């Protein structure tokens, strides 16, 4: 896998998200998996079963940390306690890079636990980039930010989402966790061409790619991670690989989770889009 400075120059292949219903299979069958992505917050606890399970995984597998609550886009300052807990976990996992979303979700210390879209303004880009730098300096690990699915747009926006993403990552000098399913969902919700987005992203900054399934409602798509990947999203994935080169890739499946083998099999379809010499590897 092509490595870059945004993913710790690592050569990770196709991984899946570590989920509780799969623990037993993983511990008993010890399947070969290139790497697991963990949700950091699930392991930022003081003790007990979550950490014991994680340690057992770490004995055998490579793990990358993915967060859901850093909220780089929230106007308020970072939470110190949160950062300290996260750093303790980084020391435990030795994650070569760390990801979280380019979104906001908290106001005055109250948490929405959602991934809310940022108004695409220069003010917001400056603020997010500043926070990304602070987090990287504190955690001492490369950071990549993920584009989210969204259902609303703001009147005050001064640029497109992809221009905003580029503005932030260049100001922060950080990586991108490119979620091609999120690009697809947002393109349908906001009536843009997903290839315009994909073709504009700074390809050299892509540290990781997410693939996932979503749900279709009458008037919008919702990012639910409870389905297989649909063909148009594989199409976007193919284009992303064309532009960024084979990149550490991860399938997210968070709800109505099928068996480990089913999820892993779905993830490995990503290899179809790799150059021939890499298909057999990883």
Partner 1 sequence: MNLAQIQRAVFEVIRQPLTPSQHLRPRLPDGRSTRRIADAIIKPNARLASHERLEIYNQQYWFRILSSFAEDFPGLRGLIGVRRFDKLSVAYLNENPSHTFTLRNIGANLESWLRRHPEFAPGVHRMAIDMVRVEWAEIEAFDGQELPRISKEQLAGLSGDTAFRLQPHLHMLELAYPIDDLLFRVRRAEHSMVSNAVRKSAPRGKVRKASLPRAQKTYLVVYRLQDMVYFKRLTREAFVLLGALGKGKSLGEALQASMPKSPAKVEAFRKRVRAWFENWASLGWLAK
Tell me if 23 contacts partner 1 by CB under 8 A.
Answer: no
Nearer to partner 1, 223 or 266 (CB): 223
Map the footprint of partner 1 across residues 193-252, applying CB under 8 A: 219-220, 222
| 151: Cα within 13 Å, side-chain hemisphere | 12
In angstroms, the CA 78 to CA 133 distance is: 11
Q: Least CB distance from residue 260 to partner 1, whole Å? A: 21
Map the footprint of Fe ion across residues 203-222, applying CB under 5 A: 210
Contacts of 94 (CB under 8 A, 6+ apart): none
In 230-275, beta strands by DSSP E: 249-252
Among all chains, which residue has been given the structure tokens 């399970």? 53
Per CB under 5 A, which region of 77-85, 91-99, 134-142, 175-183 contacts Fe ion? 175-183
211 within 8 A of 225, measured Cβ to Cβ: no
Nearer to partner 1, 19 or 264 (CB): 19
Nearer to Fe ion, 91 or 216 (CB): 216
Tell me if 50 contacts partner 1 by CB under 8 A.
Answer: yes
Sole binder of partner 1 in the list 154, 242, 256, 259 (CB under 8 A):
154
| 230: Cα within 13 Å, side-chain hemisphere | 15
Q: What x/- string results for residues 178 through 197 when contact with Fe ion is judged by CB under 5 A? A: -x------------------
Nearer to partner 1, 32 or 80 (CB): 80
**Partner residues linked to 17 by β-bridges:** 37
Map the footprint of partner 1 across residues 109-148, applying CB under 8 A: 109-114, 116, 119, 121, 123-124, 127
| 72: Cα within 13 Å, side-chain hemisphere | 28
In angstroms, the CA 141 to CA 175 distance is: 11
Contacts of 66 (CB under 8 A, 6+ apart): 17, 37, 38, 39, 40, 98, 99, 100, 146, 177
In angstroms, the CA 22 to CA 107 distance is: 35
Q: What x/- string results for residues 62 through 91 when contact with partner 1 is judged by CB under 8 A? A: -------x----xxx--x--x---------
In angstroms, the CA 194 to CA 182 distance is: 10
Q: Least CB distance from residue 35 to Fe ion, whole Å? A: 15
Q: Work out the burial of residue 7: count CB atoms within 10 Å of its CB; fewer than 13 is exposed, 13-18 middle, 19 or more buried.
A: buried
- Count of residues binding Fe ion (CB under 5 A)? 2
Q: Least CB distance from residue 49 to partner 1, whole Å? A: 4
- Count of residues binding partner 1 (CB under 8 A)? 43
Tell me if 108 contacts partner 1 by CB under 8 A.
Answer: yes
Tell me if 52 contacts partner 1 by CB under 8 A.
Answer: yes
139 within 8 A of 93, measured Cβ to Cβ: no
Q: Least CB distance from residue 40 to partner 1, whole Å? A: 9
List residues binding Fe ion (CB under 5 A). Answer: 179, 210
List residues binding partner 1 (CB under 8 A). Answer: 41, 44-52, 69, 74-76, 79, 82, 104, 107-114, 116, 119, 121, 123-124, 127, 151-156, 189-191, 219-220, 222
């Amino acid at each position: 896998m092509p490595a870059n400075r945004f993913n710790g120059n690592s050569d990770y292949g196709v991984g899946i998200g570590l989920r509780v219903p799969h623990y037993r299979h993983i511990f008993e069958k010890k399947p070969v998996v290139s790497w697991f992505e963990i949700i950091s917050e699930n392991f930022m606890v003081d003790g007990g079963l979550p950490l014991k399970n994680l340690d057992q995984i770490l004995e055998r597998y490579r793990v990358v940390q993915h967060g859901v609550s850093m909220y780089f886009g929230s106007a308020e300052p970072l939470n110190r306690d949160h950062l300290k807990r996260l750093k303790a976990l980084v020391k435990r996992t030795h994650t070569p890079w760390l990801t979280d979303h380019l979104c906001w979700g908290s106001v005055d210390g109250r948490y929405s636990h959602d991934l809310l879209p940022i108004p695409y303004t220069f003010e917001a880009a400056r603020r997010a980039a500043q926070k990304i730098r602070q987090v990287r300096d504190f955690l001492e690990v490369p950071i990549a930010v993920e584009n989210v699915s969204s259902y609303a747009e703001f009147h005050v926006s001064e640029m497109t989402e992809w221009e905003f993403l580029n503005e932030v990552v260049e100001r922060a000098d950080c990586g991108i966790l490119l979620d091609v399913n999120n690009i697809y969902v947002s393109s349908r919700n906001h009536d843009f061409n997903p290839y315009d987005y994909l073709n504009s992203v700074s390809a050299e900054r892509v540290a990781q790619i997410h693939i996932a399934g979503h749900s279709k409602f009458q008037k919008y798509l919702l990012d639910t991670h409870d389905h297989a990947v649909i063909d148009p999203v594989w199409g976007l994935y193919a284009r992303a690989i064309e532009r960024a080169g084979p990149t550490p890739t991860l399938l997210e499946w968070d709800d109505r989770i099928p068996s480990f083998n089913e999820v892993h099999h779905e993830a490995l379809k990503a290899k179809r889009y790799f150059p021939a010499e890499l298909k057999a590897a990883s």
